[in-house]
Structure formats: C-alpha cells, structure tokens
Structure 1
Amino acid sequence: MPDSPVNSAREAGSDLHLELSPTGPRRAAVAAALREAVRSGRLAPGTRLPPYRSLAVDLGVARNTVADAYAELVAEGWLTARQGAGTRVAARVVAKPRRAPGKAPDRKVGAVAHNLRQGQPDATSFPRAAWTAAVRRAITAAPHDAFAPGDPQGRPELRRALAEYLARARGVSASPDQIVVCAGFAHGLRLLFGGVLSGPLAVEPYGLSFHRGILADAGVRTIPMGLDESGARTDELASHPGLASRRGAGGVLLTPAHQFPTGGPLHPTRRAAAVDWARGRGGVVLEDDYDGEFRYDREPVGALQGLDPDHVVYLGSVSKSLSPAIRLGWMVLPPHLVEAMLAAKGLREAWTGVTDQLALAEFIASGNYDKHIRRMRQRYRARRNLLAVTLAERAPHIAVTGIAAGLHAVLRLPPGTEASTVRAATRMGVALDGLATFRHPDSPQPHRDGLVVGYATPPDHRYRPALDGLCRALPPPPAA
C-alpha cells in the first residue's frame, strides 16, 4: 500500500520551521524550540526530524549545536534515534490539542446526537464516484484558457449546461449570456444589492435571518408581507407600505415553488400579481428556487421566472440538491442587469473555482445530475413518509404541514409550547428550530407555534432514533 501524504512527509524528514529565542546559548534555544513544537502538537509522534546538518543550515547555527540538542531531547525522552531510522518524535509523547491562536476552547452546551435542522442534504449520499469521474473528464477536456484568470460571468461550459437544464427541469427562460455564476444564494444576494439593485424589498413573513442580515448590512429595508394558504400576499403589493409610492425602485423576494419554511407553492394568481406589480412599478422579483427539484405528491412547480424573464431574477444553487460544500450557484438575470452584475463582481472571478464549474457542467451534461436528483427524491420521499407515519402513530394531535416538497416539514404545536418543546428536544439530544426563529421581527402575521424539522440530514441508521427523540420531546395531547 502506498504511503499517505502525511506518512510520506514524516519519512522524508521534511522542512521544519522553528523560532529560536534571540538570547541565550544556541543549543538551549534549539532544544527549547523543539520541545515546544512537540508539546504543542506541531510535531506529531513518529514524525522524522530533518538531518541535523540540514536543520543547522536552515537555522544558521553550527551542526554540533543541533546534534547536541537532538541528543539532549533523546536523553529526556522527547525524541528517539536509531541507526538507519533517523531521529523521530517519541511515540509516547502526548501533545496538547492544537487550536487557532486566540480561539476560546470549545464548550459543549449539550450533546447533539440527532440533527433535525433544516437546510442540509444527506451528506452520506454525495455521489463521490460519479463526481470524481466528472472532474476527471472535465479537466481532461478543458481548453487551456480554463486555467487562466477566471471569467466573472462563469465558465461558458457551465452556463450552457445550466441554460439547458433549467429550461428543461424548471421552466426557466434564459440564454447562457443571461446567467452569472456565483457562490450560492447568499453570495448572489450580496452582489445584487452591492451595486445592481436598491431597496426597499418586500419579503415573506418567514425566512432566514441570515439573509435579512445581508440585506440590512447593504442598507436595504425589508418590508414583510402577509401569508395565507395561497402563499405570500403579493396581491397587496400595489398598496404595500413603502412600495406603492415609489416607481423604478424596490422589489420583492419570494420562494414561490415552496414557501420557506412554512411550505406550499405560491398560488397562480399570486404569481401573476407579483409579475404585474414588477411590470407596473419598474421593480424586480427575486425568485429563490432553493429546493424546487424536490416535490413528492405532484409534478414540480415551475419557476416563476418563465412568466416574465425581463422582471424576474432567478437564483439557484447546488446546496440542497448536491452539497453545500460545492460553493456554486447561479443567477439568471434580465438582460438589462447583466452588465451591472458583471461590474459588481469585478474583472476576475474571486469566489468560485474553475474546476468545480467544469465538473458541474460535465455532471449535468452527462445526465448524472438528473440521476442524482431522482435518487435523492426517492430517498427524501421515504424519509418524509416515515416522519408523517411516525407522528400519526405517536403524536396524532400534532399536525404536519409543508410536506409536499422540500427537505423539511413544519409541525404545528399547541399555543405557547414552542420554546419549551425546543428545550425538551435539546435535552433529548435532538437539534431542531422553532418556527419563531424564522419570523421577520416586523411581520404583520400572527405567529403560530411550530417546529421546523429537517428530515434529510441524519444518515439512514440514525433517522429512526432521531424521530424517537423528537416524539418524546413533543407536548402531550390536550386533556379531554
């Protein structure tokens, strides 16, 4: 078996950085620096040290100085020396755990045995073999200019693949020239409000506080809309405070395929109302299609962007469909906004790697992305079904909503029980969020207690125990 990179480095007696005290005898300074390197964990047990002649040259000291320091540490038990094996850090040395300078030690507030937080796909299902093959094919076929400074619009291979895929699978109307690659939805939001668009921005009454923070940092005022069983109240945009009196500015941010996090698609009349408002006021609709591929009980709801490509900015990423570790997303922009977006990004791509772009383009073009989506749709549907069946059996008084699509469900709780249920779940080792976590602080929407339960994250063998912990944390049924 070939040596790992770590073992190979150890065997070679690789370069060693030591900082010597500027005062005192040189031998003592070398010995002290080596002791600290071992004690701190920078030199792991078994690491082979450089030959003393090499280290003496690097440190600018006499060879005998290093040889004497090595001998001293061998005598003390820090190092071992054997003919033909060189000088190594002793295997019995116990190093202190290393941490970044200035970082406080980790504190465990409570052990998390089961992660039921929303927004994370099943990491164990990442298609390693297919992705590795896509990387190999993409790099082999890539033109030489792919390895020059990156184009801020994104590699043309990826933009072409995305244009075809989004048109076919999501009903998006776009040419490759309208697509700008970014590092995900949050990055796209920063770019849009970093010189392309201006506020104010109407938003849904529930959403990620992280996204609201990005907008606030950009000086954008967010104005929450109402929400009912048909989705966000886009029918009220024309008379919305802060938007109705302005023309040529402002927008609305929507999750029309699957409202986040309460669930449910935006009703067709509400979709039309959003587009009509944008046309009439010169505004723009931002469409966050965060999990549009994952629908279980009917055909996927197509993108709102197809209704009016000139007034809708469509944003997507692979964070839910593939992995958040692959920092790739995309914006499909109205043609008149493309140049402004490229100016906001700058002359060279600074966020997304070319190799990942090429690999994703190949992954999509080969059909492996579609295969992965279909496979994960089946897996998440089974997870969703098990959640619903388990709650029906063990907690029939708890309503489960928002389960026609996505990677999470919302559990409706009796009034006044949300905070205590989250605390009970924490004691059970179950990590999840209350619905109030996602509520806009200025929302006109009366809050209903609930839990947002992600069913995608736990590995298969941990999912049933996670549901058991969840059920034990839920409030009991009301007294008869």
Structure 2
Amino acid sequence: MTESWVNSAERIGVDLHLELSGPGGRRAALTRALREAVRSGRLAPGTRLPPYRSLAADLGVARNTVADAYAELVAEGWLAARQGSGTRVAAGLPPTPSGPGARGVQGGREGVAGQAGVAAGPRHRAPRTPVAVPPGARGPRHDLRQGTPDASSFPRAAWTASYRRALLAAPSEAFGPGDPAGRPELREALTEYLARARGVRTEPDRIVICSGFAHALRLLFDRGTREGPAAGGVLRGPLAVEAYGLGFHRELLAAAGVRTVPLPLDEHGARVDGLGRERAVLLTPAHQFPTGGPLHPERRAAVIGWARARGAVVLEDDYDGEFRYDRRPVGALQGLDPERVIHVGSVSKSLSPALRLGWMVLPRRYVEPVLAAKGEREGWASVPDQLALADFVACGSYDRHVRRMRQRYRRRRDRLVAALAARAPHVEVTGVAAGLHAVLRLPPGTERSTVKAATWQGVALDGLAAFRHPQGPTAAGDGLVVGYATPSEHAYGAALEALCEVLPPG
C-alpha cells in the first residue's frame, strides 16, 4: 500500500509529501512517514502540523488514525502539543544527515528499540528533550469526567446564610472535641430528609456522619488501623460487587484484605441470582454506576431475601439518588429492611465533594462497632460544616438547590442527546433517565482510540472499560462514560462540540 498527500502552504507553511507504505496498517505507516520527515529535516523544528481532521480528510483515513499517530509521536518527543498553537515539530531535534551510517542515531521508539528496521548507533544518543504530553495531561480544556457536579453552581449565598445562622445558634460545646457519631442537629435533619426524599427508615442514633463513601468503606472493612474489639473489622469479605464500578473502591477494599466477587450486569441491574456464600454485597440500586438504570424490583426483593437467609448485609451506595428525570423516583433499598441494609450517602454530587460530608444509616447492631472503628473523637468531618448542613437541610435550601440542579442537569442531558442525534446518530446513549452521567455506546474496538483522541484534543472523559472489575465479564462492550454535570454552564456547549469531534465515524 502506498498513498501520498501534498499539504498546501496555507495550512502549515510548507509543501510536504508523505508516503504511507509498509507493514502495520495506516496508523503505523503514517507514524513512520511523519517520523521520517522530521528525522530527514523535511519538517523543521517548530513547523506546525495540520489539524488531525484536515490531515485525515486529505489522506482518506479515520480521524482517530491521525490522532493516535500524533499522540504516539508526542509521547516519543518528536512532536509537541501546546494549547492554542496546535501540534508542532518539537524543538531540539536536529535533522539526521543522510547517507551511510546515518540511520539509527536519532531517539524515539525506533532508535532505541530498533523498530521498523532502524538500529540504534553504538556511540550516538538522541538529545534529551522534555517529552511533550497531550493537553489533557496538564489539565483538560473540556472536563467531561463523571463524578463531579458543576462547581460553579455551588449555592454560595444560601450556604453562607446557613453557616452564619448555624454558628450563631450553636452551643459552646459544639466547638470542643467532636462526637464520632456526628452533630445531633445534622443527624436529626438527615433523619427527616432521608425519610421524606429517599424512603429511608431510621432514627438519629442510627446515623453516623462520615466524610463520604470511601471513608465509610474504610470504617466498615479496614482492619489495620485499630486495636481492641473492632480490630477485626466491622465487616469481612468476601464481598460481592457489581462487575462495573469505581476502581478506587476496589483498590481500597483490596488494601484492607477484602476479596471482591463481581456480579454480572444486564438491563435490569446486577444479577443478584449469582450471590452465593459472600458475607455482604455492595450495590448502586437507584442508578447503577456507571452503566445506568435502577435495580429491578424483583431483584431488590431477592437481594433482601438472600441477606436474611445468609445473615449477610447489603451496602447501598446512594451516590446520586436525588437526580432523576424520565422515571418515577426510586426509593432507597434500605426501606425494605433497615436491619439488613447499610445505606450510605453524601453531598458530593448534590452540593460539592469539597465539603467532605456523608452519612451511614446503620442497622442497630453495627452502630457501636462503627463508632469504635471511628474513634473517640470526630477526626474527619468539620463540625461547623455539619452544623451548616443541618441548617441548610432544615430550612429547605437543600431541597431548593437539588430541584434547581435537577432541572439544569436535565437540560444538559437533553443537549447531549440532541447533539449526538445530530452529529453522531450511530452512537447510542444509555443510562440517562437519572444521574449526572451518560454512557455512549461505541462500535466494537473503538473505545481505546477514542479515549486517546479525546485526551489529545483536551477532552477529559472515561472509557467504560476503566470501570470493569478485573475478573468481571466484558458484556458491557465499548463505550464512554460522559459526565455532563462537570463543566460550568458557559463551557458546556464547547465541551459538547469537542466531544462530537472525537467520536468515531459511523
């Protein structure tokens, strides 16, 4: 295969002829051709290369092919990417003289490893130039990662008012050593709110304040930081988990010596009929993370039946239960059996992860062990922040903020769906009836290259494979997990445009 392209001076300032030939497909051929053009001096340091879309159109190759070739050469140091100035030949790469004995003296993957028939010279080394990295490695221009609300939407005025009221009304003892259970004002406010909004059945003395779901996992499973009765851990593995979930949580559990067993997923959520002799199961029943969708009612009943029969417990991660759009609200699983479910929630999605405030609604038998694991004094959650959140919930500001953000995120979700329908109708969007993210189903074999192309263009997002349990099935296929809540309102349109640019063609 031999293909050529002559680039016009209007695009990069020079005429350039590339021949795509040799083994390994078009990406390998393009990478070799560009590397040879730099090595030979036909592309001088500082020369600006065309946008990958333009080069792809001229060569008749896929955009991702060009993006991957650029990214590889950036990683090797042949090219450099700078936000606002495009992709250029890296500085500090003098051309290699042509003629006998000249091959192999330049750096990069070929010179070092002898690839593509180029052997490294015995006495020559490439100049040590800083390896340029894609824009996304320094900080993305467009952040579409899941898990973060729009930081610019934090209700500063309402929160400040609650903070002021809470501090003025707080008793003096609130500013002493904190109660590990959490401030009673917050536990009382959460008891009323969770019962009303999430169907949770509890009392204030069964709620323990924590700093979020990861902290809750540490309190429940960590055996390495305590002495005395709680030294064995409140819970022990093996722990069943959904086949797709946060790798950070799996790593945390592994560090605590907990073996996790993946449960397959389908359109009805986790296949709980696969539960066996595990001691506990971790689920996201209101909105499976990351694939989307609630746990089917029959499976909700089945997992409670399994927990009762086994004397086991269900960990319910209610990470974004307030945000639903096209379906009836799905109540907390805890409401089916408060003595068999540990319900964990936080304000990380509804308000801000910076607050570091969450809660555990515990079966009564676990309250004292969890408090013993936490220690005699509150060492995690700020007491003034707890007081402020209690006021924020009690005065109705929390409900108003959630309703406002629910409308805003729904509009963003609708814009995402509309943009994909217009620009990439071959990409199916799933998991959008609730939550703050969507899953974009991609053609088989395109996920990795699409994530790489997105990173190259300064678009931060996650591939679906990043969330798969190492021993779990791959039935979910190729996809992207797009957090449409993350960008600020004024930046969202540009983020959508950038997203559509990197999607593989139909």
The 8 Å contact of residues 418 and 451 in structure 1, kept in 2 or not, is answered as yes
Aligned to 2:220: 192
How far is the alpha carbon of 1:362 from its aligned partner? 0.2
Cα gap change, 1:106 to 1:154, in 2 (>3 Å): farther
Structure 1 partner of 2:453: 424
Distance 1:425 1:203 in 2: 30
Corresponding position of 2:192: 164
Contact 1:226 1:445 in 2 (8 A): no
Cα shift at 1:474:
0.6
What residue number does 2:158 align with?
130
1:133 is displaced (CA, Å) by: 0.4
Kindly indicate whether residue 229 of structure 2 is the aligned counterpart of residue 201 of structure 1.
no
Partner of 2:168 in structure 1? 140
Aligned residue in 2 for 1:227: 265
Aligned to 1:293, the other structure's residue is in SS state coil
2:492 & 2:371 partners in 1: Cα distance? 44
Q: Which residue of 1 aligns with 2:472?
A: 443
Amino acid at match of 1:260: F
Is the 8 Å Cα contact of residues 134 and 456 (structure 2) preserved in structure 1?
Answer: no
2:323 maps to 1:285:
no
Could you say if the C-alpha distance between residues 313 and 458 of structure 1 is closer, same or farther in structure 2, counting changes exceeding 3 Å?
Answer: same
- 1:66-116 CA-to-partner distances (Å, cap 9, x unmatched) read xxxxxxxxxxxxxxxxxxxxxxxxxxxxxxxxxxxxxxx998542421000
Q: Is the 8 A contact 1:317 1:330 kept in 2?
A: yes
The aligned amino acid for 1:324 is: P
Please say if 1:335 is aligned against 2:360.
Answer: no
CA RMSD after TM alignment:
1.3
1:119 maps to amino acid = G
Q: CA deviation at 1:307?
A: 0.2
Q: Which amino acid counterpart does residue 426 of structure 1 have in structure 2? A: T
Q: Pick one of 297, 314, 322 that aligns with 1:268.
A: 297
Alpha-carbon distance in structure 2 between the residues aligned to 1:106 and 1:370: 49
For residues 116 and 332 of structure 1, the distance between their equivalents in structure 2, rounded to whole angstroms, comes to 31
What secondary structure is seen at the aligned counterpart in 2 of 1:196?
coil
Note the alpha carbon deviations across 1:109-163, whole angstroms, 9 max, x for none: 4242100000000000000000000000000000111011000000000000000
Q: Give matches, 1:356-367, under 5 Å.
A: 356-367=385-396
Q: Which residue of 2 aligns with 1:236?
A: 274
Q: CA deviation at 1:444?
A: 2.9
Q: Tell me the distance in 1 between the aligned counterparts of 2:261 and 2:325.
A: 32
Q: So what's the TM-score if we normalise by structure 1? A: 0.75
Distance 1:316 1:136 in 2: 25
Shift of 1:460: 1.4
Check whether the contact 2:216–2:360 (CA below 8 A) recurs between aligned residues. Answer: yes
Aligned to 2:333: 304
CA distances 1:26-57 after superposition (whole Å, capped 9, x unpaired): xxxxxxxxxxxxxxxxxxxxxxxxxxxxxxxx
For residues 209 and 371 of structure 1, what CA distance do their matches in structure 2 show?
Answer: 33
State the SS of the aligned residue for 1:446. Answer: coil
Contact 1:205–1:224 (CA<8 Å) still a contact in 2?
A: yes
- The alignment partner of 1:131 has SS state of helix
Deviation digits for residues 436-455 of structure 1 (CA, Å, limit 9, x no counterpart): 00000000343400000000
Counterpart of 2:109 in structure 1 is none
State the 1:189 CA deviation.
0.6
1:414 to 435, 439, 443: 443
Q: Deviations over 1:366-406 (max 9, x none)?
A: 00000000000000000000000000011000000000000
Give the match's secondary structure for 1:313.
Answer: strand
Q: Aligned partners of 2:445 and 2:246: how far apart in 1?
A: 22
Distance verdict in 2 for CA 1:107–1:123, change over 3 Å: farther
Residues in 1 aligned to 2:385 and 2:131: alpha-carbon distance in whole angstroms: 33
Question: Could you tell me how far apart the structure 2 residues matched to 1:336 and 1:471 are?
Answer: 51
Structure 1 counterpart of 2:159, one-letter code: W
Counterpart for residue 9 of structure 1: none
**Alpha-carbon deviations, 1:216-269, whole Å to 9, x = none?**
0110000001111111001221xx3x53xxxxxx10000000000000000001
Please tell me the residue identity of whatever aligns with 1:110.
Answer: P
Supply the AA of the counterpart residue of 2:135: G
1:255–1:288: 8 Å Cα contact kept in structure 2? yes
1:110 equivalent to 2:135? Answer: yes
Deviations 1:408-445 (A, max 9, x none): 00000000000001111112211101000000000034
3-state DSSP of counterpart to 1:314:
strand
**Alpha-carbon distance in 1 for matches of 2:477, 2:407:** 31
Letter in 2 for 1:323: S
Corresponding letter in the other structure for 2:267: E
Give the Cα separation in 1 of the matches to 2:357 and 2:328.
Answer: 26
Identity %: 71
Q: Confirm or deny: 8 A CA contact 2:177 2:377 kept in the other structure.
A: yes
User: Partner residue of 1:218?
Assistant: 256
Task: Note the C-alpha offset of 1:299.
Answer: 2.4
CA spacing shift, 1:152–1:107, aligned 2, 3 Å: farther
Kept in 2, the 8 Å contact 1:227–1:445? The answer is no
State the alpha-carbon separation in 2 of the partners of residues 299 and 115 from structure 1: 30
- Please state if 1:176 is matched with 2:204: yes
Contact 2:134/2:458, CA 8 A, preserved across alignment:
no
Amino acid corresponding to residue 183 of structure 2 in structure 1: R
| Structure 2 counterpart SS, 1:189 | helix
Give the Cα separation in 2 of the matches to 1:447 and 1:282. Answer: 31
- How far does the alpha carbon of each residue in 1:279-314 deviate from its partner, in whole angstroms, 9 at most, with x for none? 000100000000000000122210000000000000
CA contact (8 A) 2:237 2:258 kept: yes
The match for 2:283 among 247, 251, 254 is 254
